[in-house]
Amino acid sequence: MTNRVELKPGVIYFPQLLDRAAQESLRDEIYAAIHSAKLFQSTMPRWGNPMSVKMLNLGPVGWVSDKSGYRYQATHPVTGQNWPRIFPSLLKIWDTLTDNYAAPEACLINYYSATAKMGLHQDRDEEDFNAPVVSLSLGDTALFRIGTSERTGPTQSIKLQSGDGLIFGGPARLDFHGIDRIYKETSTLLNEGGRFNLTLRRVTKPHL
């Protein structure tokens, strides 16, 4: 098992959770999924401004955002098709990091170009806040900022590199967080540059 660094209660950082070979195979699985299902451009609720990040989901449901709000839905907003399945390799990582918590139902894939960022936000569209969110980074390094459950609370920052993992749960599950910037050309994993972030989520409450 790799290093495990508790950044604060509920936030555990796993530097280099995935070695280069694991990163390459995950990258290739992502490319195959994107080839069949296509990234889509999300827009912010209400005003409809485009987000700088492009998205795709895997799993029975996926997270989408448009003028009418944020929600989980079973189909791709552009094609109307079901989302591709969550890769078995990802389910295995989830089981290891969450100690076999009920299976994740969504894997949100975010793609950041060198200039993309993500504003401070909470992940609160899930019914089950007992489940942690598991995050994986591939490609260029990103500056990740974590605050508190209040938007204006103090924050700490950490650079997430290709292959790093993060668990976000427990008392930190509703903490604000975001990506301030991408460090261009810091990884050779993606030919086109930029960064993928995958977040695995349990959406509904597990039934006994």
Interacting residue ranges for ligand MD6, rule: CB under 6 A = 110, 118, 123, 133, 135, 144, 166, 168, 177, 179, 197, 199
Nearer to ligand MD6, 76 or 145 (CB): 145
Residue 175 binding target from ligand MD6, Fe ion, none, CB below 5 to 8 Å by type: none
Vertex 116: Cα angle to 115 and 117 (nearest 5): 125
- Window 109-128: residues binding Fe ion (CB under 5 A): 123
DSSP for 142-188? EEEEE--SSTTS--EEEEEPTT-EEEE-GGGTT--EEEEEE-TT--S
Least distance to ligand MD6, CB of residue 110, Å? 5
Residue nearest Fe ion, Cβ-based: 123
Q: Assess 175 for contact with Fe ion (CB under 5 A).
A: no
Q: Which is nearer to ligand MD6, 82 or 102 (CB)?
A: 102
Which partner, Fe ion, ligand MD6, none, binds residue 197 by CB below 5 to 8 Å per kind? ligand MD6
- Give which of 137, 85, 108 is closest to 203, Cα–Cα: 108
Cβ 96 to ligand MD6 shortest distance, Å: 17
Cα–Cα dist 208/201, whole Å:
18
> How far apart are alpha carbons 166 and 160 in whole angstroms?
9
Residues 6+ apart with CB under 8 A from 130: 169, 205
Between residues 82 and 148, which has the closer beta carbon with respect to Fe ion? Answer: 148
Structure tokens at 97: 């990091």
For residue 160 the two structure tokens come to: 């997430």
User: 37 or 131, CB closer to ligand MD6?
Assistant: 131
Which of Fe ion, ligand MD6, none is residue 164 near (CB under 5 to 8 Å by kind)?
Answer: none
